Structure 1
Amino acid sequence: MLTIDPKRSLLLVVDFQSRLMPAIHDSETAVRNANRLIEAAKLLGIPRLFTEQNAKGLGPTVADIPVEQDRLVHKQFFDACREDGFLDRVPADAHVVVAGCESHVCVQQTVLGLLQASRKTYIVRDALGSRHPEDKETAIRRMERHGTEIVTTEIVVFEWLQTSDNPHFRQTISIIK
């Protein structure tokens, strides 16, 4: 299957943290689109997983993003896959949809770790952030070269819906408009 399978999907929201976000280029767009993905995932029954990098130093996830504490992984490694138990929370056949910051550090290293662990990954270009646009674009190109798919928020939502007959179609469409 070339499209994202909603039955196998997992939304991974990486490090949208309070002390980091003021430095992120166009952070408002990344946060807004991450929230759209979270809302659509909840509505469609897609599991969610959140990470926080060195929360003592970078603070908690920004208040604008509704973190589910039982789905939060605290980490010190930039690559979440190196944290004990992280990969146990990502099914082997998962289609992992990734949003987060910083694109060229924690997102990239985590995606490369997921790919190395044979997980299918999709990075959501308009829900990623870095301090400098060139770091974001370079990371996107690198992750793509190693096998991740590049998507946008709307691509993800429509592939999760699959059909306009989906009973959650109207509610989901209102989230992305």
Structure 2
Amino acid sequence: MLPAIDPARSLLVVIDLQARLVPVIAEVDGVLANARHLVEGAEKLGVPVLLTEQNPAGLGGTVPELAGREAMAKMAFDVTRTPGFLDRVPAQADVILAGCEAHICVLQTALGLLAAGRRVRVVQDAVGSRRTENRDAALRRLAAQGADIVTTEMVLFEWLGSAEHPQFREIVRAVK
């Protein structure tokens, strides 16, 4: 049984939400909106955020609504194979994953993190694939492998922990 998501132990990793890739993602508006809520909530709550970009020379940079933040370029689908990535993920981290494609880079990264002994939370309403059946199959496989499947609001409200949190109203206003 996994504990509640602790903002002090969390790392948000947003995978490959890039200009040339997102137009072909099914239900992309919801994926982007939820990824943006997660990034903005993480920044307000002091949770580190890391973006990845798959082959940025070919797929372009991160979408404008998330650009301007640190991004790690990669060629491997599993970012844990990129030199230096795992060094940035504390051993006890709750790694929150969002992005695309769910059945390729998100899946392989989650499997790599699980193999490295990290706790993985995949945000189902903030991940996407070109075809919804690929996303759904990836989420089922990840759950069976030990990843925790969560939603954007689950993450944000677990980070807050209480309606008395100083950022509560601002975060609630953003997601409602």
Common fold: TM-score over 0.5:
yes
How high is the TM-score relative to the length of structure 2? 0.97
**For the residues of structure 2 that align with 1:168 and 1:32, how far apart are their CA atoms?**
19
* Structure 1 residue ranges (4+ consecutive) displaced by more than 2 angstroms after TM superposition: none
Instruction: Report deviation, 1:172.
Output: 1.3
Residue 81 of structure 1 pairs with residue 86 of structure 2 = no
Distance (whole Å) between structure 2 residues aligned to residue 116 and residue 17 of structure 1: 26
Aligned-residue Cα RMSD (Å) equals: 0.9
Post-superposition offset of 1:151 = 0.4
Letter in 2 for 1:59: G
Counterpart of 1:170 in structure 2 is 169
Matches within 5 A, 1:22-33: 22-33=23-34
Equivalent pairs counted in the alignment come to 175
Q: Taking every aligned residue pair, what percent have the same amino acid on both sides?
A: 49
The answer as to 2:60 corresponding to 1:92 is no
Q: Deviations over 1:118-161 (max 9, x none)?
A: 00010000000100000000000111111000000000000000
Match of 1:52 in 2: 53
Gaps of 5+ in 1: none
What is the CA distance between 1:33 and its match in structure 2?
0.3
Which amino acid letter does the alignment assign opposite residue 93 of structure 1?
Q
Pairing 1:32-71 to 2, within 5 Å after superposition: 32-69=33-70
Question: What 5-or-longer segments of structure 2 have no aligned partner?
Answer: none
Q: Partner letter of residue 63 of structure 2?
A: V
The answer (yes or no) to whether the contact 1:39–1:175 under 8 Å persists in 2 is no
